[in-house]
Chain A
């Protein structure tokens, strides 16, 4: 029998697969041409996180994570996408503004960021409490890809979705290394996300009302 690295336990394998899917959803948002598709990917990514939280709750006996999974699903899978979809309906725009770079170049940049995030984190002496450590590296990679999304897409909806998905990536990281954070704090963080979504939506509406467009190309009057 050949010997080598032992196969990971089923739970770790499932968790890693879900973390990879979270990262892939991020790549999907980066290349999606239609804004509704981007919002669907965000909802899917959020659902993956909720499922991961529920699995971790069952496998590691952290009951708070069940409640977190349900709340997270209600808020991020249903409420936030609903707010964004309604806003899209009101503005009558489906197509995202074109990116600063082409899809291939954007994807290449995201791959480089992913490799950097993954390998830089892999070397850190941090032990995971609930989920396998690989998920932390994937979460850091997803944060960096979210930044690429915010920087290289020139429409306000993509940039907002980029921010919300970055929050998802940070949530994944917190599931890995701080899953037992008191439930009350998790709820407060989710509430805060809700407030941020409302404000982002309000500003997107104001922008659309003034410019009749969701593009950020015209937002170049100020010098920073």
Chain B
């Protein structure tokens, strides 16, 4: 099993290098192979880590790590397959194709590394690497909007991670009070000696970590980079950002949470997460009511779901924590699907404005229903995985006696549901020429003001090439079908081994 860990750390990195020099076609096939292979390797880890952790040098994977690896590997695999269709030679030039394929592999490598490393400092380094790699990918389309989004992202996220580094230093200091001035700064070292850690340092470290890594999770009020970066990045990158990067940053918070709960007791860490969670959820729900940009809509949906994760953790009951971990997987599948669908829509209609996509079902007979199903999944409609995970979280909240918070959670989730479904039902309605003209005029006007990213649509792979009733490529349809199958499986009948893994993960996180 330890060989698998090393392979997961080495192969995507090597693939990134090869993609830079190989012909684009070979790069696309290699990326798809490595993406699917990585998912297979992580699946193989599930059996082992539901019973015990697996280690190799500075790498260590337990149940919690495996769940986040599963989410990342799932998005990596589907995006890698999607890239075969998305980066076809008729849509992009060779240089762009090479760079973005290398970037996808490198980004996925950093995202896989973060849950595998054993130690707070290495975790910080891995998360910082995800920032710098993905910032370049956000800017890769070389438009004004993409450059602005990338700058905001790298500056805000790096500043946030500076605070997280401060928190990491406080945790090291806390450990040094028990373990001596020089020790191996691993997760186990601190959790095993948590009883003797100084409370002030742990409290400070935890708050700084939540605020710092929370910047990358998209917690309010440090979320402002997120809608811009998700909206301006190329579609495969948006899917990785939303489906995996946010979750990996949340994973970092969970590692700090483990030590904080063991040292301070559950009340303080849970209150901190509750405050950030409710605020983020409320902000996102309100923004979702008034979103026309298809990718910004999905970005705010991500903030909503990260808020749900934080609120779920604050309940503390084991079933709620199982729900949180299941939510990570289901959200990755649903958000990956939604972004992949959005990418096809933007390419077909030449705009990101949802109100201009009324002919969706006519123009894209496969992608449109798949996108709508992904939206329903994100809105927690049954029978998809997010319905089950949110049901667990609510049940856990009620079991732990947080009925007031549960009521707020449910109300905000319903509000978000209304926003998501109201906006996207435009796709179902038949074409309304007047409406399309109005929307296009409005978008042109906004573009002239520099307020939307239409410029990027004209210059990137998302440029318009509509072909009525025909999908661009089967490779843009197959990955969402696979993602949908995963969502139905998670919602209807999650495998027993996965339930074991989730339960063990909840135990590791102190759910009980």
Contact = CB atoms under 8 A, between A and B. Distances in A.
Contacts of A222: 145, 148-149, 152, 227-228, 231-232, 453
Contacts of B198: 125-126
Contact of B158 (A163, A174, A211, A224): A163
Interface stretch (A38-46, A74-82, A101-109, A193-201): A193-201
Contact of B125 (A124, A129, A174, A192): A192
Interface string A169-196: 0100110011111100100110010011
A167 B168 CA distance: 13
B304 interface: no
B362 interface: no
Interface string A118-134: 00000011100100000
Contact of B147 (A192, A199, A210): A210
Contact of A129 (B124, B162, B173, B204): B173
B166 A185 contact: no
A206 B147 contact: yes
Contacts, number: 129
Most buried by B among A177, A179, A210, A221: A221
Nearest to A179: B181
Interface stretch (B89-97, B135-143, B239-247, B423-431): B135-143
Contact of B139 (A163, A166, A173, A206): A206
B158 A196 contact: yes
B451 A156 contact: no
Contact of B173 (A126, A147, A216, A223): A126
B148 A221 contact: yes
B100 interface: no
Given A163-B158, A200-B154, A178 B169 contact: yes
B165 interface: yes
Contacts of B450: 220-221
Interface of B: 119, 121-122, 124-125, 128-129, 132, 135-136, 139, 142, 144-145, 147-152, 154-155, 158-159, 162, 165-166, 169-170, 172-173, 176, 181-182, 184-185, 198, 200-201, 204, 224-225, 227-228, 231-232, 450-453
12 contacts: A163-B155, A166-B159, A181-B172, A185-B119, A188-B121, A189-B125, A192-B125, A192-B129, A203-B154, A207-B151, A219-B148, A220-B450
